[in-house]
Structure 1
């Protein structure tokens, strides 16, 4: 059993995909055309925000959002260290330095107390990642604290499309939000894609310039730090076809997670927080002190698993000894214990039950 079966998603949506592609081919417009505009408008409306600016991928979305905030060389950007370097990579591309935060061991998400620590240290930019499809529980308080301190807040929603906190979509709490439309995401394209959303017209305008060379007019460059990063018409059309089914897909992911939580009964496994509108089941990640033994057992049972993510950002080789003195105990422990089980909308109940039975039969 695969960790995610994209062929099943494509087959289930074959007619809609074919129609979207044929529409683009017939139009002859392949870049920054009507399909991009339509998707940007529809996605902004879905979230309940004013602006959506699509780009080529989720990491570009983070980088351009940070640039729109005024992040520059030498600035520090606060971010969690358990989300596989995406924010850290974007910050490095600007010449900024990550300021790493620890996470809550149960939600695996950013906490208000760690944001307070960053602000006290003089950090002026914070990225709050909603990890594994679970909205950061304290996002409202974090947003208020940042606003009160004059600190810019970016929500990284790459794994949380459609998650809600108190009836409000993630991606609407910060000054801006970044999204990825990588194929495995809850709202995924048939290739790479990303977007920045914001309620601020000035931020939106800067990102529109930054995504296309820094142009203020064709061939007239006025914005530094720009690049060519555009969502193409094909991917925009496919995303428009998939968007109406996002909430139903999220609900199916919740059902699978609930089935796991109800069925898995093992004394050496800790189950995740995986319920409610705050959770959209992008990944189902459990914990075990003997994670590697469990993974080997599942492999022998024909069930794929994964580790999201095995190396904390502050321990990545690219940094050398730069963060040798930084210790994030929750993050570091989680990296040795977490394991991701298959969880995607096209899974059948029988497949879910097979995973449950295999996990319960594990004898470390």
Structure 2
């Protein structure tokens, strides 16, 4: 059983994907070809954002957002330690200081009640993560940011593209929304890719210049930049995948609800989904005791699992110096107990039933 069934997805979209790729091969504009603009327009319309800027990865999306906001060495960015390293990595690469705030134990998203206490005179931005496919408490975060001098808010939405929050789409809820098209994401390409979303004209223009080495026009470098363009071929793949993306989100929601129901009688903690939003389950994650034993039993039964993430960033060697010596107990406990189960739009009910049955056996061993 695959952890994420990308082969089934490709077979369902084969004719469209092949045609889109062939069109790029025929016109030969592999960098900034027409598919780039077409994808940006369609993604902006989907999110309800004025601007979409495609970039070379989700990590690059976060980096370019911070560069567009002119993050300086020593500037602080408030974020969560329970996330993939890229969230803090981009802050440190620019000389900034990640300031970690613990998570809610039931959603694993940043605990907004702890954000305000972490704000100092050096705070330059807040970067919540919409983990596992559920948007964080963005209205509350935006309100805190507004009270403290209109701090920019960057939603790290690498796992939540397609999710809804109070009737609006993830990526269109704050100063910047940044997402990833890594193959395993809800909307994935066949390599690396990502996108930035904003309603701010000046920030969008800055992001577009930064992604092409800071050029406002060819060989006129008006700012520092990076090589951050998304390849035309990858844009073509995402354009093809958009054709059934609404169906895929419906399947993710349905399968997520079904998992929640099937697991209700087992001794595992299911993640809470707040009533004013949904979760697109980039990873279907549960919280349980004795994870190594359960993982081993599932592996023996042919059921793949994964851990997102085993060690929070404030305990990672590269970021320990930014932890201020503080403990973040909910993040630390989650790192010891989370486990992700097979999840993709093409997961069948029979496969799902098998996963749950084998998990039930493993919990009794």
TM category (shorter chain) comes to: over 0.9
Instruction: Provide the TM-score with structure 2 as the length reference.
Output: 0.95
**Map 1:151-300 → 2, pairs under 5 A:** 151-224=151-224, 226-274=225-273, 277-300=277-300
In structure 1, the gaps of 5 or more residues are none
Task: Specify whether residues 266 and 158 from structure 1 end up closer, same or farther in structure 2 by C-alpha distance, changes over 3 A only.
Answer: same
CA distance in 1, matches of 2:167, 2:329: 33
Q: Secondary structure at the match of 1:13?
A: helix
**RMSD, matched Cα:** 1.5
Other-structure match for 2:361: 361
Q: Deviations over 1:236-255 (max 9, x none)?
A: 11111112322211111122
- Quote the offset at 1:273 in angstroms: 2.4
Q: Secondary structure at the match of 2:119?
A: helix
In structure 2, the gaps of 5 or more residues are none
CA distance in 1, matches of 2:39, 2:143: 30
**Map 1:128-143 → 2, pairs under 5 A:** 128-136=128-136, 138-143=137-142
**Map 1:300-311 → 2, pairs under 5 A:** 300-311=300-311
Other-structure match for 2:125: 125
Q: Deviations over 1:40-70 (max 9, x none)?
A: 0100000001000111000010000011112
CA distance in 2, matches of 1:61, 1:319: 21
C-alpha contact 1:274 1:281 (8 A) present in aligned 2: no
Which deviates further from its counterpart, 173-182 or 6-15?
6-15
Other-structure match for 1:115: 115
Which deviates further from its counterpart, 95-104 or 118-127?
118-127
CA distance in 1, matches of 2:230, 2:220: 21
Q: Secondary structure at the match of 1:10?
A: helix
C-alpha contact 2:75 2:122 (8 A) present in aligned 1: no
- Quote the offset at 1:144 in angstroms: 2.1
CA distance in 2, matches of 1:352, 1:287: 18
Instruction: Give the paired residue count.
Output: 362
Q: Secondary structure at the match of 2:89?
A: helix
C-alpha contact 1:179 1:195 (8 A) present in aligned 2: yes
Q: Secondary structure at the match of 1:32?
A: coil
C-alpha contact 2:253 2:281 (8 A) present in aligned 1: yes
Q: Secondary structure at the match of 2:79?
A: strand
C-alpha contact 2:104 2:110 (8 A) present in aligned 1: yes
CA distance in 2, matches of 1:31, 1:323: 40
